[in-house]
Structure 1
Amino acid sequence: MVRAKPLKYVTSTTPFLPITVVFGFLSYVGAQTSTTPDFQIPLISGNRTITVVNNCKFPVYPGFLTTNGTGPYTTGFYLDSKQRRSVWVGWDWSGRLWARTNCSFYLANATTAAKIKAVTDNFTIPDGQKLAGGCLTGDCGSAVECQLSGLAPTTLAEFTITGWQNQTYYDISLVDGYDLDMKITPSYDSPEKPRVNNTPICIASTDLSSPLSGRDLNENSLNQSFTFGTIHRWCPREMLLFASQRGRQSVFPYPDDDDPTIGGGWTPCLSACAYSNNDWDCCKGRHDKSNTCGPNLYSQRAKQVCGDAYSYAYDDYLSTFAVPSAPGDEFEVMFCPGGVSTNILKSTLGSTANVGAESSWLLITISAIVGMAVLW
């Protein structure tokens, strides 16, 4: 089992393993966005492009964290609604990115901490002042550029560029919890050339989502385990980030749909590991093996609502996507893409496919450890 190195602010880590052979078709659904150019930044030799798109109704602060190789020229920035920004990473890069939500940054007196003025991005810090503030989800401290991973709960996009057998591996991870819907679209040469069959989408909030219809409905591999009308009820109550003011005496098992005190249909959810930090939920200690750590209630619910996303640390088989690695590759990570979650891997491989593939899966796992260990 190959794992990312432990990081501060990380409640658990998600492994990358090459396991994906995907068929079918998934249409590319883009947002109407404008581009923030970075012409002053030189390209990295043999670079790959990661374009971050904010399709949410509100601004976010994307954050990047590098675990190996040549990372991007920035590790965090402001991204307004319907905006996009591209960064470049090296052929050897491994890392993660996420969105920080409900952020407020300001300059403060370095001695008294008194607020001076609010800031968003592209500012200088005068002598005698400091940057203060933070974010509700995905926070990495009082910093626009992150030096730490995001504080749970946060939806993660994870990448290993040019991994085992010259493949790029990527996934949407809910191992550290959920805070925003996400889609990852791989393409070659340009966003107009998406690589079909390999675009995972995780939709876990009715407030951020929208039903599909017409062509979009017919051309997507959809996860129908949860309907649009009940999707917001998947998070175990005690793991909701916002506590209802009505308390446990409410007649509603999930009062968030009727209780405005906890955000309506948007309910960031702590993972079981982030909530308890025990060995079983985090697959650590004596449970740091696939045969001693299985899905808990949170991961089972998360897998139902986002079939193509990681739900716990050993959820490799139906979670990891792969495409051939080549210079010029581009990956688009979109927040709040709308629509419905995909269920590509389970639809392709089947719920019982692992029964007949156990021996070959063991061989692949061993080969992956040998071939990719140097990346971590």
Structure 2
Amino acid sequence: MGDSVQEQVPTWSPIPKIHPISDNRTISIVNNCSFPIYPAVLTTNGTGPYTTGFYLGSKQRRNVWVGWDWSGRLWGRTNCSFYLANATTEAKIRDVTDNFTIPDGQKLAGKCLTGDCGSAIECQLSGLAPTTLAEFTITGWQKQTYYDISLVDGYDLDIKITPSHDSPAKPRVNNTPVCIASTALSAPLSGTDLYQNSLNESFTFHNIHRWCPRQYLLFASQRGKQSVFPYPDDNDPTIGGGWTPCLSACAYSNDDWDCCKGKHDKSETCGPNLYSKRAKQVCGDAYSYAYDDYLSTFAVPSIKGEEFEVMFCPGGVSTNILKTVLGVTGDAGKLGGFCTSACISVLMMVWMLFLSW
């Protein structure tokens, strides 16, 4: 996957001519990784963007625009290879990246190692787990935009979501969650990040070295199966060093308890499992399981001029902003032990309003 990278000023990726969206919101997608990715966007409600997937080179960015009523998710696909193939013989004709036409008698083929949505550059389906998600509801309760980083489907890339009003030069720093969960993608804080985000909580190398339960690793060192060093971080060149794609417990087992479904489909009967607790340790502001709301959801006013930047491989360290604001342990299971779902809802309303001021 490449070495650790420092954040640099990305260049703009060319975009096609698009139709304007009334009362839109801008989402700027930035690839700060040292390798190319294929971002993907899935709309669950409202007016979606002009594209649902595209190629984005290292240190490049591209804007997409969504309507005031939009909700959906965004993720990055890694290690992708697409090509044109003969429609009947499956024979490969030539590699492609983006902005191409499919001639008669040919078809698009290929796949991605993580976040795959089939042989398609523009996704029509959710990405295959594990995927780190950026989720948005642009105009929700009390005319707030709600957004979060989700590890409910697993983890594959580090993400930072930065809201800003009027321009990227006006970031809402204390509403900027960051999830750093691979040693190969982490990097020391530098520049303005070093002093702007006073709520950053630095996690040591040990914290992110072996957080993923071994059985949930997307791939593990084969040489480590019989040793005490089974993790990708052990610099096995066949794995890629410290890059640690991790399936969630739900994605791995599809069990009712792990997935908070069936008889466990409410907060009173579904709590954090081992994966959820480990994920929360390395990414304190991210969703770790379905009922992790009050320690995972951010809110800003839904108004014209509000923009969002979703950056992959931001470097630095994970944040624990909500724990700092609420003054709680960060273990949703402990709160659930003495607080009903109604109680949690009240707490959520209080801090959402606080964060949006």
Give the alignment's TM-score, normalised by structure 1. 0.85
Question: Unaligned 5+ residue runs, structure 1?
Answer: 1-28, 367-376
User: Aligned to 2:294, what secondary structure does the other structure show?
Assistant: coil
Match of residue 168 from structure 1: 145
| CA spacing shift, 1:357–1:249, aligned 2, 3 Å | closer
Distance 2:88 2:230 in 1: 47
Match of residue 205 from structure 2: 228
User: Aligned to 1:302, what secondary structure does the other structure show?
Assistant: helix
Q: CA RMSD in A?
A: 2.2
Distance 1:134 1:215 in 2: 37
Aligned length: 338
Where do residues 199-348 of structure 1 align in structure 2 (5 Å cutoff)? 199-212=176-189, 216-220=193-197, 221-224=199-202, 226-254=203-231, 256-348=233-325
Given candidates 326, 337, 347, the residue that maps to 1:349 is 326
Q: CA deviation at 1:30?
A: 6.3
Q: Percent identity?
A: 79
Confirm or deny: 8 A CA contact 1:46 1:328 kept in the other structure. Answer: no
Letter in 2 for 1:361: I
Letter in 2 for 1:261: T
Confirm or deny: 8 A CA contact 2:294 2:344 kept in the other structure. Answer: no
Q: CA deviation at 1:329?
A: 1.5
User: Aligned to 1:337, what secondary structure does the other structure show?
Assistant: coil
| CA spacing shift, 1:330–1:218, aligned 2, 3 Å | closer
Distance 2:288 2:102 in 1: 40
| CA spacing shift, 1:349–1:357, aligned 2, 3 Å | farther
Distance 1:99 1:364 in 2: 32
Q: CA deviation at 1:216?
A: 3.6
User: Aligned to 1:300, what secondary structure does the other structure show?
Assistant: helix
Distance 1:352 1:238 in 2: 27
Residue 52 (structure 2) pairs with residue 75 (structure 1): yes
Distance 1:181 1:236 in 2: 18
Where do residues 22-33 of structure 1 align in structure 2 (5 Å cutoff)? 31-33=8-10
User: Aligned to 2:245, what secondary structure does the other structure show?
Assistant: coil
Distance 1:121 1:343 in 2: 37
Range with greater deviation from structure 2 (286-295 or 241-250): 241-250
Match of residue 106 from structure 1: 83
| CA spacing shift, 1:317–1:364, aligned 2, 3 Å | closer
RCO (CA 8 Å, sep 6+): is it higher in 1 or 2? 1
Q: CA deviation at 1:215?
A: 6.0
Range with greater deviation from structure 2 (98-107 or 215-224): 215-224
Given candidates 173, 191, 198, the residue that maps to 2:168 is 191
Confirm or deny: 8 A CA contact 1:137 1:152 kept in the other structure. Answer: yes
Residue 123 (structure 2) pairs with residue 146 (structure 1): yes
Distance 2:21 2:7 in 1: 26
Match of residue 34 from structure 1: 11
Distance 2:339 2:175 in 1: 21
User: Aligned to 2:316, what secondary structure does the other structure show?
Assistant: coil
Letter in 1 for 2:200: L
Match of residue 344 from structure 2: 361
Range with greater deviation from structure 2 (100-109 or 185-194): 185-194
| CA spacing shift, 1:351–1:154, aligned 2, 3 Å | same
1:73-101 deviation line (CA, Å, top 9, x unaligned): 10000000000000100000000000000
Match of residue 59 from structure 1: 36
| CA spacing shift, 1:357–1:53, aligned 2, 3 Å | same
Give the alignment's TM-score, normalised by structure 2. 0.89
Given candidates 70, 92, 107, the residue that maps to 1:130 is 107
Q: CA deviation at 1:360?
A: 5.0
Match of residue 354 from structure 2: none
User: Aligned to 1:157, what secondary structure does the other structure show?
Assistant: strand
Confirm or deny: 8 A CA contact 2:162 2:175 kept in the other structure. Answer: yes
Range with greater deviation from structure 2 (238-247 or 80-89): 238-247
Residue 21 (structure 2) pairs with residue 44 (structure 1): yes
Confirm or deny: 8 A CA contact 2:223 2:230 kept in the other structure. Answer: no
Q: CA deviation at 1:363?
A: 4.8
Confirm or deny: 8 A CA contact 2:220 2:231 kept in the other structure. Answer: no
Range with greater deviation from structure 2 (240-249 or 111-120): 240-249
Question: Unaligned 5+ residue runs, structure 2?
Answer: 1-5, 350-357
Q: CA deviation at 1:120?
A: 0.1
Q: CA deviation at 1:206?
A: 1.1
| CA spacing shift, 1:31–1:357, aligned 2, 3 Å | farther
Range with greater deviation from structure 2 (238-247 or 46-55): 238-247
